[in-house]
Amino acid sequence: DTQMTQSPSTVSASVGDRVVITCRATQSISNWLAWYQQKPGRAPKLLIYRTSTLQTGVPSRFSGSGSGTEFTLTISSLQPDDFATYYCQQYSGYVFTFGPGTKVDFK
Amino acid sequence: EVELVESGGGLVQPGGFLRLSCAVSGIRVSDKHMNWVRQTPGKGPEWVSTIFSGGGIHYTDSVKGRFTISRHTSQNMVYLQMNNLRPEDTAVYYCTTCDSGRLAFDLWGQGTVVTVPS
């Protein structure tokens, strides 16, 4: 099965910063790559699916890109509501796999 | 408005069993791929099982032979029968939906906690 890694594991940032999170797969995957945001005590929230398509209601400061084995989530200008943990997730061969997460905290 | 409400979690001894339920409103369980995803504190979510809208069923390797996913279309419910529970099954279990256009989990319930002490 395809395994996922994320980097960095933690990013310390300030409001207004551009934040980039990378997700890597152990083998080439199609564009079935999604990103989630999770806050403490809450269920994950879908932000992006199919590598780059924003889920309805997600602000346009979030964007996704990538192909093959390397994908990125970019937050163009970090807002107070964006401090959270972010997970990537892939689908292939009837298996879904999540990454270990990247925590975005206050610098 | 779509809502997923899980129930059935609890404390169970190793080797025991639980049946999780997911009450679904706002959509038909037969129209979406219905899933169980679990998460332990401080770790990423882990996909457990999917029942596809067409009826196909898949499990993560660690629960094969122990867990069974099912749906009851007339009651609009999804279930996860969990047998021979292990301490490593301890987690918050979420009921989620996805569809073929996303293959990502677009809706989540609030979760139900399963604890299997070691």
Per residue in A64-94, pLDDT (tens digit) is 999 999 999 999 999 999 999 999 999 999 9
How many other C-beta atoms are found inside a 10 Å radius of the C-beta of residue B58?
A: 18
**Residues of B whose CB is below 8 A from A1:** 61
Rounded distance between C-alpha atoms, residue B77 and residue A5, angstroms: 34
B73-114 per-position pLDDT tens digit: 999 999 999 999 999 999 999 999 999 999 999 999 999 999
The token pair that represents B116 in the structure block: 């299997």
Q: Chains A, B: CB contacts under 8 A, how many? A: 60
Cβ contact B38:B45 at 8 Å: yes
The amino acid occupying position A49 is: Y
Residues B43, A100: C-beta atoms closer than 8 Å = yes
Amino acid at B118: S
- CA–CA distance from B25 to each of A71, A91, B80, B97, B118 (Å)? 34, 26, 18, 12, 36
Higher pLDDT, B87 or A1: B87
Residues shown for chain A:
107
Residue B67, SS3 per DSSP = strand
Q: What is the mean pLDDT of residues B15-44?
A: 97
Matching residue, tokens 């989530």: A73
How many C-alpha atoms does B107 have within 13 Å on its Cβ side? 18
CB B47 within 8 A of CB B106: no
Query: Across chain A, what does the average pLDDT equal?
Result: 97
Instruction: Look at A89 and B104 and tell me if their CB atoms are within 8 Å.
Output: yes
**pLDDT given for residue B44 in this prediction:** 95
A contacts of B103 (beta carbons < 8 Å): 32, 34, 49-50, 91, 96
Residue type at position A37 = Q
The Cα A21–Cα A99 span in angstroms is 11
Instruction: Name residue B68's amino acid.
Output: T
Chain B residue with minimal CA distance to A95? B60
What's the alpha-carbon Rg for chain B, to the nearest Å?
Answer: 13
Looking at the predicted structure, is the pLDDT value of residue A1 above 90? no
